[in-house]
């Protein structure tokens, strides 16, 4: 969009049959009013003048893209079959109001209304795939957040920090939006998301409830149940208290597992409602603090989690680090501290700074949010991934957003966390370029190119050559993969699993090159490390070499910063 158009949106904005769109501080603010059909038409007509339906179409194509990485020939048929099956099973459970909004958006955009309803179910389908042992097709762990109040903060204020981590670099973050709905019947509520999408992973309402989603992986999944975004919509549109929200989330069986984090800012409390299709856990604050990432808490729910150690370690690492930071700031935590927490780069397993991997500032961070309801204040970061590294968090007045009072939207900004120096930022940019090439363009060669550029910029960050080596291994380019994977074994890992895994990756590559004796030496090193399940796999490989067909169970995973594998 031209600079002239941006300036116009900053001043006069756009209007359409009661709906408005303006751009403030680089963030779009949309006000929708009337029936759900009215609001759907307004949203589509306003956003079509700014970004078309690019975000909507990206979401619609996500399943096909993820399947293409594992089984390219099945990507199209699998995408179509999954959408049709889930829609047939669950169409009646899509909220009637949301269906009206989706149909209206589709009509304006020239889309099939059924396609819009398919997209509404994308999150359920992705989490179902993860639970049915198709982990290599599933989304990575995503989202970190906390609620703090009372003795945990300075002056006892309620503070909320949230990193929303998801796919869609260059699509979602460039259309960063605050979308406020004013239904003709019901309370006002707000999605914090992107233009042209009817829902989001976080939002708040006029009753003071703040909601956010945290991916969970569970084997307890089903093809029929309450759709995720029907539940989320009902909480924001209809619930006024935390107890009402908990009752709504747990009222019916769901299709998949997730955690819905709900803060009741008026009652000054919160709960993380973690669920699977048929079970649930409710986690409350302790000493005024509640932290959530992407693993379950109770033993009952943990037993149903898939066993991929990389996912679990990433989630536990972010949880541990956020908890440590909040403990350090106990009694002194202010809004100015929150961007530093959300952009933190310390790996708790390695006890040192990393620029990606098991850190709070995840590579797929699409939105970073700070809220101080006592100050009537919301701050959003805005920029390239990871968005939490933005130089500023842009301030807005919560009541003005809900009232649609454009003259009162803006408040003072917060400084960003300033965690990275110039070289580190350049290296992270190359890593993000590699991820985009691999995920969005299915271009492994370009991904390796950017990873090697990142390695030149920051040679001490082992994740860059490790990922390049794993991609080349997956592509059956064993000769160029080997030196990169051997380099990975030379790193002084403090985490036992990562140390063992480094030797297993190198040994597998040597096996595939037919250098069995050298492979065995690396397997022996990994087997001697107390690091199950990786060390157990190394012991098995000592008697049975790794074969090419087993590469089907390997997937380079940029968010975690290693390869997913079944051990």
Mean pLDDT of the chain: 93
CA 196 – CA 40 distance, rounded (Å): 10
Instruction: Let me know: does 62 contact 123? Beta carbons within 8 Å.
Output: no
pLDDT at 373: 98
Query: What is the torsional sign of CA 52, 54, 55, 60?
Result: positive
Token pair 């020239």 in the structure block, residue: 110
pLDDT digits (tens, 9 = 90+) for 351-363: 999 999 999 999 9
Which H helix or E strand runs over 1? none
pLDDT > 60? residue 490:
yes
Confidence category of residue 64, pLDDT binned at 50, 70, 90 = confident
What is the per-residue pLDDT across 26-53, written as a single tens digit (0 to 9) for each? Answer: 999 999 999 999 999 999 999 999 998 8
Backbone angles phi, psi at 305, to 5 degrees: -75, 145
Q: What integer pLDDT is reported at residue 552 of this predicted model?
A: 86
Buried b (16+ CB within 10 A) or exposed e, 190-204: bbbbbbbbbbbbbbb
pLDDT in tens, 290-307: 999 999 999 999 999 986
Give the CA distances from residue 331 to residues 151, 262, 289, 431, in Å, rounded to whole numbers and listed in that order: 5, 23, 11, 37
Other CB atoms closer than 10 Å to residue 485's CB: what's the count? Answer: 26
**pLDDT level of residue 1 (50, 70, 90 thresholds):** very low
**Residue 430 in contact with residue 457, Cβ under 8 Å?**
yes
Find the helix packing angle between 96-109 and 113-120, rounded to 10°.
130
- Spatial separation of the C-alpha atoms in residues 389 and 352, rounded to whole Å: 18
- Is the Cα torsion angle 218, 222, 227, 231 positive or negative in sign? negative
Q: How many CB atoms lie within 10 A of CB 557?
A: 23
C-alpha to C-alpha distance for 8 and 24, rounded to whole angstroms: 11
What is residue 23's predicted lDDT score, i.e. its pLDDT?
96
pLDDT at 137: 52
DSSP character string of 347-372: ETTTTEE-SSSSSSS-TTEEEEEEEE
Q: Which own/partner contact pairs does 328-336 have at CB distance under 8 Å and 24+ positions apart?
A: 330/151, 330/152, 331/151, 331/152, 331/153, 331/154, 332/154, 333/148, 333/152, 333/153, 333/154, 333/159, 334/153, 334/154, 334/159, 335/159, 335/370, 335/372, 335/375, 335/377, 335/379, 335/414, 336/414, 336/415
Residue 39: C-alpha distances to residues 15, 18, 29, 196 (Å)? 12, 9, 14, 12
Q: Evaluate whether 21 touches 28 at the Cβ level (below 8 Å).
A: yes
pLDDT digits (tens, 9 = 90+) for 153-170: 999 999 999 999 998 899
548 or 312: which leads in pLDDT: 548
The answer to whether 62 and 118 have CB atoms below 8 angstroms apart is: no
pLDDT digits over 388-398, tens only? 999 999 999 99
Q: What is the pLDDT of residue 522?
A: 98
Burial class (CB in 10 A: 0-12, 13-18, 19+), 224: middle
The pLDDT assigned to 57 comes to 85
pLDDT mean over 263-267: 98
Average pLDDT (306-329) is 92
> Is residue 139 pLDDT above 70, yes or no?
no
- Confidence class of residue 515 from pLDDT cuts 50, 70 and 90? very high
The neighbour count for residue 233, using CB atoms within 10 Å, is 24
Peptide bond into 283 cis (omega under 30): no
What span, in angstroms and rounded, lies between the C-alpha atoms of 300 and 44?
A: 43
**Strand, coil or helix: what is 385?**
coil
Report which listed range, 6-10, 129-133, 280-284, is most confident.
280-284
Whether the bond into 533 is cis, omega within 30 of 0: yes
205: closest CA among 239, 175, 172?
239
Structure tokens, 259: 């955690």
In CATH, the architecture of 423-565 is: Alpha Horseshoe (1.25)
pLDDT digits (tens, 9 = 90+) for 183-235: 998 899 999 999 988 899 999 999 999 999 999 989 999 999 999 999 999 99
Residue 318 has pLDDT above 60, yes or no: yes
- Whether the per-residue pLDDT at 138 is higher than 70: the answer is no
pLDDT tier at 70, thresholds 50, 70, 90? confident
């Amino acid at each position: 969009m031209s600079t002239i158009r941006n300036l116009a949106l900053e001043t006069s904005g756009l209007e359409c049959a009661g709906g408005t769109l303006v751009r403030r501080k680089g963030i779009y603010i949309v006000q929708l009013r009337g029936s759900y059909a009215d609001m759907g038409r307004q949203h589509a007509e306003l956003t079509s003048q700014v970004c078309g339906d690019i975000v909507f179409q990206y979401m619609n194509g996500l399943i096909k893209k993820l399947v293409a990485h594992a089984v390219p020939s099945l990507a199209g048929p699998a995408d179509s079959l999954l959408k049709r099956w889930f829609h047939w099973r669950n169409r009646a459970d899509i909220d009637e109001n949301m269906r009206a909004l989706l149909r209206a958006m589709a009509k304006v955009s020239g889309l099939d209304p059924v396609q819009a309803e398919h997209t509404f179910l994308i999150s359920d389908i992705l989490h179902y795939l993860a639970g049915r042992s198709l982990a290599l097709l599933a989304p990575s762990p995503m989202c970190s957040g906390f609620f703090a109040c009372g003795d945990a903060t300075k002056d006892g204020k309620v503070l909320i920090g949230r990193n929303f981590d998801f796919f869609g670099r260059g699509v979602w973050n460039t259309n960063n939006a605050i979308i406020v709905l004013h239904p003709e019947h019901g309370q006002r509520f707000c999605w914090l998301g992107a233009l042209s999408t009817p829902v989001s992973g976080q939002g708040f309402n006029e009753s003071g409830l703040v909601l956010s989603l945290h991916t969970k992986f569970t084997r307890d999944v089903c093809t029929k149940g309450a759709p995720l975004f029907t539940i989320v919509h009902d909480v924001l549109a209809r619930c006024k208290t935390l107890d009402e929200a908990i009752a709504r989330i747990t009222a019916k069986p769901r299709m998949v597992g997730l955690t819905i984090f709900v803060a009741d800012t008026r009652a000054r409390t919160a709960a993380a409602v973690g669920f699977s299709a048929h079970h649930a856990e409710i986690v409350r604050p302790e000493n005024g603090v509640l932290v959530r990432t992407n693993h379950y808490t109770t033993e009952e729910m943990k037993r149903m989690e898939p066993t991929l150690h990389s996912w679990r370690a990433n989630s536990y690492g972010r949880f541990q680090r956020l908890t440590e930071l909040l403990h350090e700031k106990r009694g002194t935590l202010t809004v100015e501290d929150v961007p530093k927490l959300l952009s933190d780069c310390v790996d708790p397993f390695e006890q040192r700074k990393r620029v990606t991997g098991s850190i709070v500032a995840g590579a797929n961070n699409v939105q970073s949010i700070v809220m101080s309801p006592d100050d009537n204040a919301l701050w959003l970061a805005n920029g390239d991934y990871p968005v939490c590294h933005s130089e500023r968090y842009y301030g807005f007045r919560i009541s003005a957003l809900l009232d649609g009072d454009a003259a009162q939207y803006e408040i003072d900004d917060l400084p960003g966390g300033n965690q990275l120096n110039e070289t580190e930022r350049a290296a992270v940019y190359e890593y993000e370029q590699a991820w985009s090439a691999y995920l969005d363009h299915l271009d492994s060669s370009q991904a390796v190119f950017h990873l090697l550029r990142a390695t030149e910029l920051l040679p001490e960050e082992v994740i860059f050559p490790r990922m390049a080596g794993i991609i080349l291994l997956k592509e059956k380019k064993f000769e160029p993969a080997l030196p990169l994977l051997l380099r990975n074994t030379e790193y002084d890992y403090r985490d036992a699993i990562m140390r063992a895994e480094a030797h297993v990756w190198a040994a597998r590559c040597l096996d595939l090159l037919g250098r069995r004796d050298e492979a065995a030496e690396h397997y022996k090193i990994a087997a001697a490390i107390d690091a199950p399940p990786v060390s157990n796999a190394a012991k098995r490989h000592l008697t049975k070499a790794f074969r090419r067909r087993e590469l089907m169970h390997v997937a380079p995973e940029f968010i975690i910063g290693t390869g997913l594998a079944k051990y």
